[in-house]
Amino acid sequence: MHWIDLTIFACYMIGMLGFGVFFLQRNKGADDYYVGGRNMSSLHIGLSVVATDVGGGFSIGLGGLGFVMGISGSWMLFTGLVGAWLAAVLLIPKVKGNPVFDKAFTFPEIFKHYFNPEVALVAGIISAIGYAGFTSSQILAGAKLAQGTFADLDLQTALIIMGSVAVIYTVMGGLKAVIYTDTVQWTILMLGLIFVGIPISYNAIGGWEAISQTVDPALLSMSNLTWQRVVYWGATIIPIWFVGMTLYQRIYACNDEKTAKKAWFLAGLFEWPVMAFMGVALGLFAKVAAAQGMFDYLGAANVSDTDPETGLPMLLRTVLPVGFMGIMMSAYFSAILSTADSCLMASSGNVVSDIIGYFREVDHDSDTFLRFSQIMTLLIGAGALLVASMMTNVLDLMLYSYAFMVSGLFVPVVGAFYWDKSSSVGAIGAMMLGGGTTFVLQLLLENIVLNVQKIPFFDFDQIVWGIEKLPAGLDANVFGISVSLLMFVTLSLLFPDESSESPEVIHN
C-alpha cells in the first residue's frame, strides 16, 4: 500500500478517535452515553440505523455472497427493507406512543413494563451475549479487510489493530458520537462505492463482456437461490428489527414518533436496493478478477484459492490507483466501525442497566455510572475481540448472533405488544427454549465432537454428535422460533400473570 494511501487511512482513523475524545468531554450521563440525548433528527438516525445494520459485516459478507451466489445474494438485504418498514408501522407507534418509555434506556425495559423484572433480566442476558457476538463479527470483518489489503499482515495482528481502534473509540464517545460519526461514515462509504470502487473495478475487469463470458449465467440471475435460503434470511433478519437493542436505542434517541418512522423508512431504502446491489456487484467483480488471474501475486492463482470474503478487498487493493485506495479502505473501515461501535454500546447497555441494574440500584445521571459504563464497554470489547480470534467466517458469526437473539426474543416482544394473555412465565419459557433450541441445533449442524474417557461397560473413546441437515433443509432458527411460539402460547395460558394490568416500568 502506497504511503499516500496509508496517510489518508491513518488520518481517517485518527479522526475517528478524535470524535471519541470530543464526545468523551461532553457526555454528561446515561442519556448522552446510551440514547444520544433523546433529540436526534430523522436523517442522523436513519443513516445511523442503516450504517449499523448493514455496516462492515454485511458489506464484507455481501461481497462474499456476490462472489458465491451472484446478484441474487442481494435478496438478503431485501429482508432488511421489509423488517425496517414493518417495524416503522407496527413497533415504533407502540414504543414512542407510550409515555412509559420516554425515559427508557434499553430494549428489555419493554419486558419489565409488560411482564416483570425477571423477564427483563433474561432478555438482557440474551441481548448482551448476542450483541457481544455481533461485535466480534464486525472486528473480524475489519481484520479480513485489513488482511486482504496490507501485504504480510496476518489475521491475528489485524484483529488486534482493528479491535483496539473500534473498542477505544466507542468507550470514549458513547451513542451520541456513534450516531454523528455513523452519518459521516455512511456518507464516505456510499460516495466511495458509487464514484470510486464500482466504476474503477468494473472497468478493470473488462466490463459486462468479461463478466458475462467468465461467470456462470446463474450468477447473473435474481433467482439463483433456494426457498430454504429465503426462509433462513427472512426468519433471521426481519425479526431483528423488533428485538435489536441498537434499534431501540435509536428509537429512544428520536424526538417523537414521526421522526422515528421517517428514519426507519429511509433506512429500509438504503438497505435495498442501494447497498444490496452495490455489495454483491463488487463481490461478483472480485470473482471475475480471480478467474482472470489478477490475484496471482497475492497467492490466489484461481477462484478456488480465494476466500470469498477476502476477494473484495483483494480486488480493491489490485485495481485502485494511489490515493483512491486510501479513500476506499477508509470507506469500508468506516462501515465496520459504524456497526461495531453500535453493537458494543448495545451489549454494554444491557449488562449495566438490565443485568447489574437488576441486582443493585444505579443512578443513571451520576458521573460514577458513566465511568462504570465506559469500563464495562472496554471489558466487553476485549471479550468480543477474543471471540473474533476464534472464528473464520464473518457472515456465519453475524447470523449466528442474530439467530440467537431472534429465536428467543421475537415471539415474547410481539406477544407483549399484541396479545393480552401474554404472561411472564410464557415469556421466560419462550426465551430459554426458543434460543436454546436454535443454539443446540446449530451445534449439531457443526458436527460437534465430544472427547470423553472410556466409560465402564462401553467401549468407545469419543462421542460424535452431529447431523447433516434439518427437516426440509430449513435453518435452526426456524425451529427455534417455532418452539418459542409454542412455549409462549402454552405457558401463558397455563400460567397467567396474577394481574391483567401491566406494571409501571421501573427505572433504577
Residue type, 186: W
Query: How many angstroms separate the CA atoms of 329 and 115, rounded?
Result: 46
CATH number, domain containing residue 61: 1.20.1730.10
Q: Rounded to whole angstroms, what are the CA distances from 341 to 252, 316, 345?
A: 17, 25, 6
Has residue 401 been placed in a domain? no
Has residue 213 been placed in a domain? yes
258 contact partners, CB below 8 Å, separation of at least 6: none
Give the dihedral sign, CA 454/458/463/464.
positive
pLDDT tens for each residue of 102-156? 989 999 999 999 999 999 999 999 899 888 888 887 787 777 777 766 666 777 8
Has residue 412 been placed in a domain? no
Q: What is the pTM of this model?
A: 0.84
Query: How many angstroms separate the CA atoms of 209 and 320, rounded?
Result: 21
pLDDT of 500 > 50? The answer is no
236 contact partners, CB below 8 Å, separation of at least 6: 399, 402, 403, 406, 475, 477
Has residue 258 been placed in a domain? yes
Question: Does residue 239 contact residue 475 with C-beta atoms inside 8 Å?
Answer: no
Measured in degrees and rounded to the nearest 5, phi and psi for residue 66 equal -60, -35
Three-state SS sequence of 422-466: CCHHHHHHHHHHHHHHHHHHHHHHCCCEEECCCECCECCCEEECC
Query: How many angstroms separate the CA atoms of 340 and 144, rounded?
Result: 14
pLDDT tens for each residue of 6-44? 788 788 778 877 877 887 777 777 788 888 878 888 988
Strand-pairing partners, residue 450, are 463
Give the per-residue pLDDT at 1: 64
**In a 10 Å sphere around its CB, with 0-12 CB exposed, 13-18 middle and 19+ buried, how is residue 114 labelled?**
buried
Give the dihedral sign, CA 324/325/327/332.
positive
Give the per-residue pLDDT at 149: 66
pLDDT tens for each residue of 286-298? 999 999 999 888 7
CA 191 and chain centroid, separation: 22
Give the per-residue pLDDT at 460: 41
Give the per-residue pLDDT at 58: 56
The residue ranking higher by pLDDT, 394 or 36, is 36
**Whole-number mean pLDDT of the chain?**
83
Look up the domain containing 102 and give its range.
3-23+41-394
Question: Does residue 33 contact residue 175 with C-beta atoms inside 8 Å?
Answer: yes
pLDDT of 329 > 80? The answer is no
Has residue 403 been placed in a domain? no
**DSSP string for residues in 368-416:** HHHHHHHHHHHHHHHHHHHHHTT---HHHHHHHHHHHHHHHHHHHHHHH
Mean predicted confidence (pLDDT) in 469-481: 88
pLDDT of 443 > 90? The answer is no
Has residue 166 been placed in a domain? yes
Residue type, 54: V
Has residue 494 been placed in a domain? no
The residue ranking higher by pLDDT, 23 or 416, is 416
Helices (H) and strands (E) in the chain, counts: 23, 2
Give the per-residue pLDDT at 55: 66
Give the per-residue pLDDT at 499: 62
pLDDT tens for each residue of 53-89? 776 555 667 888 999 999 999 999 999 999 999 999 9
pLDDT of 481 > 60? The answer is yes
Give the per-residue pLDDT at 96: 95
Query: How many angstroms separate the CA atoms of 464 and 462, rounded?
Result: 6
Give the per-residue pLDDT at 491: 97
Residue % of the chain over a pLDDT of 70:
88
Question: Of 152-156, 432-436, 459-463, where does the model show the most confidence?
Answer: 432-436
CA 491 and chain centroid, separation: 31
Closest CA to 348 of 397, 394, 384: 384
98 contact partners, CB below 8 Å, separation of at least 6: none
- Give the total number of structural domains in the chain: 1
